[in-house]
Every structure is written in structure tokens, then in C-alpha cells.
Amino acid sequence: MGEIPEILWSHPQLVAAVTSEDWGAVFRTYRKLTGLSQTKLGERVGLAQSDVSDIERGRRQVTSVEVRQRIVSGLDLPPDPQATAARLTADTAPVTGVAVPGAVPDEDLLARVTSVVDMSHRVDAATLDWLDRLLAEHRRAEDFTGSRPLIDVMRRQLRTVVDLYAGARGRLADRVIRLASEHAQFLAWMAQDQAQTAAALAWYDRSHEWALEAGDANMAATTLSMKAHMAWSGGRGARCVRLAEAARWSAPGTSLGVQGMAVQMAARGHALQGEASDAHRLFDEAQRLISRASERPEDEPVWMYFYDETWFTLQRGMAALHLRDWREAAEHITAGLDALPDEYRRDKTWYRACLAHALAGAGELAQAVSVAVATVPDAAALGRPHSWNELHTTASLLMRRDAKEGRRLVIALREHD
């Protein structure tokens, strides 16, 4: 079956799931971290794939002591996951410039991926496996820290990946190109997050080109969806719709989740233009795709880890915000925020700013100010222009509705400017 890496037990979501004996969450998180299919995980724990699927989806509960013991033995669960996580986090030294606990490989591998690559040395699968894992950890770190601390790190890491290409042969060369495409897409997202529009567009274009070269339909479509997101962020609804449609139809063979992302982006573009019927129709279609995708999460690319019902609820809230259905927007965003884990600090900050906007639009002025003021410190700390701008938009709306309430938010913004 292969050795199970102990470092898995430094991951907080997995530790929390094991500690609470939420076996569905254990299975989902374990597979996300290891890349195992439901069938392969079933082989480890002595369950059929259909049983693994039912447990993940909450259709079956683990009540048998014998089944529980098979899971504990098959996944090599530590007796005290929290103590193990604390030890691993304390014992692992971060890579230079990379503050990601538990991401350190053996010394030889570490030296090869953090220094100038010797082009006479052949690239091997172990190097690329580690870079895959490191990119996944960086994505999750950015969910909490925001993009600002990671941009320079990721630029250096992409240079390392590109340098590897000269020493790669055959299938390894294809993997290097795919990995470069994923790095470029992440860099584009971070540039977009920091309102560096020209850099983001350039990185998305480069990512798309590399994805096509690698034959990666999912990444090719994702880059177009993210360019649609950029158009949406800039208030260009028609361009958002066109790019989203291109994401869906120009790359055949994409996963259901990637298709769902493209459809909901088109829905957001229509909402931005005030086209409610088209927006609602496409959101319904996207939700059907999400539901089908959730039945086979192993078919989704690794960067789609965030795409679930919680995220979709938040997107419906954003559409309602565009359509000025303030109370519906507040209800959806509140429900999404309640379900969004704390490690998504960056997204929580953005959606709280949007919630304040929706509450102000609905006339709930005191509540809007309370939410907005509480959001200001995180928005300032993360250095995310979009959240900051949304808070200023809310302040302007409040000033029109009630100058006293508006001034409270303006003062809070000035204190952190």
C-alpha cells in the first residue's frame, strides 16, 4: 500500500476530524492530502468504495467498533493526534522564505529545490511530488495570510520549476509544464488579489498557454474562469459572461466542478448587469453541477478544494448584492460565513465587508456598522484592496443613509489607513 507519511498529522483539519471522530471529514481530508481515490482508501481500511462514499457524504455513520478499528489501523492514526501535530510543527524547520510547517523533504531534496538547479542532473518524480505538495500548502496558507506575504516566495518557486524543464525528459517534462501552469495561475490570482491587473492578466495568459501545452483541460478552463472573475471584479459584466462561456466550451473534458465554476461565473456576470432571470437560471445549473461533482471529489483537480456548497452559497449572496436584493444577499452571505472555516481568513474578511454592504442596503444601519468596524482590522492586516474598497463603499452608503453611522465607519477606516 505504500508508507503513510507521518507529516499528515500536522494538518489542523485532519487532526480536528480525528479528534471529533467525524469519519466522513477524516476520509475527505485524508484523500485531499494524499490524492487517494475512494477505492484506494477503501482498500486501506477494508471498506468498499460505495461505503467510503456513503461515509464521506454522511449517509452512513461509523458505529461498529470493528469498523472503527479498521479505520484506525488502516490509516495509521496516532493515539494522540493533537500531541503528534504539536511535535511535528515544532520539529520541522521551514524552507528559506517559506513559512509552511511540515513541508520539509530530506536534505538532498531540499537543497535541490531551493538552490540553483544543476541542468546536467535529471529531474525525478520525488522532486516534482514535493513541489506539488508545497504548492498545495501555499494555496492553503494564502487562504489565511492573504497574498502579500507569499508573492515573492511563489515567484522564486516558479523560477525553480521552469529551470527544471531543461533537465526533464518524457512524462516528467509534461509534469513540469503542468506544474509551471499551476504556479502561474496561483501567481495570477495573488496579483489580482493585490489589484495588480496587468500582472494578473499576463500570468493568466502564461498559465493558459502552459496548460494547453501540457494538455491540462481543467487548468486551461480555470484560467479563463479566473479572467472572467477579473472582469467581474472590474465591473465588466458582459466580458465576464463571454470569458465564462469560453471557459466552459473551449476546453472539452473538464471536470464537473470546473464546469460548475464557469457556469456560476457567467451567472455572476449576468447579475452584475442586472439580468436576474439569466443569473438565477445559471446559478441553478451550476448548483446541479456542484452536487454531481461532490459525489466524485477524486475527479476534481487539487486547486478546486474550496469549491463546495458553502462557497456557492456565498456566490448567490454576491449575485443578490448586485441585484440589490439586500435582504436575500445578507441571508446568503451570513449562512455562508457561518459555515466557512476560520482558516479561510482572507475570504471571511471579504465576505464580511460584503455583508456590511448588504445590511446597509437593507436599512440595518447599526448592524452594518458593527460588522464593518469589526472587519476593518483584518482588512488592513491582510492588505487586500478589494475588502478595503468594499468597506469604503459601505461607508459611502451609510453616509447617505445616516451621517452619524457613516462617520463611525469612516473613523475606524482612518485609524487603520
DSSP for 122-182, written as a single string:
PP-HHHHHHHHHHHHHHHHHHHHH-STTTHHHHHHHHHHHHHHGGG--THHHHHHHHHHHH
Does this model's pTM top 0.95? My answer is no
Mean pLDDT within 86-108: 40
What per-residue confidence (pLDDT) applies to 254? Answer: 93
Report the C-alpha gap between 267 and 240 in whole angstroms.
Answer: 9
Nearest to 125 by CA among 67, 156, 164, 93: 164
> Which is higher by pLDDT, 212 or 143?
212
Quickly state the pLDDT bin for 220 (edges 50, 70, 90).
Answer: very high
Distances (CA, A) of 179 to 130, 152, 305, 311: 11, 18, 17, 26
Decide if pLDDT at 99 tops 50.
no
What per-residue confidence (pLDDT) applies to 345? Answer: 87
Decide if pLDDT at 378 tops 80.
yes
Decide if pLDDT at 110 tops 90.
no
Q: Which residues contact 42 (CB under 8 A, 6 or more apart)?
A: 48, 49, 51, 52
What pLDDT digit, counting tens, does each position of 145-178 carry?
888 878 888 888 888 888 777 677 788 888 889 9
Q: 96-100, 125-129, 161-165, 293-297: which range is least confident on average?
A: 96-100
What pLDDT digit, counting tens, does each position of 1-25 carry?
444 445 556 566 677 778 778 898 8
Quickly state the pLDDT bin for 296 (edges 50, 70, 90).
Answer: confident
Nearest to 390 by CA among 165, 244, 235: 235
Decide if pLDDT at 69 tops 50.
yes
Instruction: Give the three-state DSSP class for 107.
Output: helix
Quickly state the pLDDT bin for 122 (edges 50, 70, 90).
Answer: low
Decide if pLDDT at 259 tops 70.
yes
Decide if pLDDT at 371 tops 90.
yes
What per-residue confidence (pLDDT) applies to 132? Answer: 87
Contact call for residues 181 and 216 (beta carbons, < 8 A) = yes
> Which is higher by pLDDT, 277 or 121?
277
> Which is higher by pLDDT, 168 or 225?
225
Decide if pLDDT at 242 tops 90.
yes
What pLDDT digit, counting tens, does each position of 29-44 carry?
788 766 678 888 888 8
The phi, psi pair for 212, rounded to 5°, reads -65, -40
Decide if pLDDT at 114 tops 50.
no
Mean pLDDT within 331-353: 91
What is the grid cell recorded at 337?
460565513
User: What is the share, in percent, of the chain residues with pLDDT greater than 90?
Assistant: 34
What per-residue confidence (pLDDT) applies to 100? Answer: 37
Residue 269 burial (CB count, 10 A): 29
Decide if pLDDT at 109 tops 50.
no
Report the C-alpha gap between 410 and 417 in whole angstroms.
Answer: 10
What per-residue confidence (pLDDT) applies to 271? Answer: 94
What per-residue confidence (pLDDT) applies to 317? Answer: 93
Average pLDDT, rounded, for the chain: 82
Quickly state the pLDDT bin for 375 (edges 50, 70, 90).
Answer: very high
Report the C-alpha gap between 59 and 55 in whole angstroms.
Answer: 6
Contact call for residues 247 and 262 (beta carbons, < 8 A) = yes
Q: Tell me the domains of the chain and their CATH numbers.
A: 6-84 (1.10.260.40), 118-214 (no CATH), 216-297 (1.25.40), 308-417 (1.25.40.10)
> Which is higher by pLDDT, 152 or 113?
152
Q: 81-90, 146-155, 330-339: which range is least confident on average?
A: 81-90
Report the C-alpha gap between 161 and 187 in whole angstroms.
Answer: 13
Report the C-alpha gap between 7 and 85 in whole angstroms.
Answer: 8
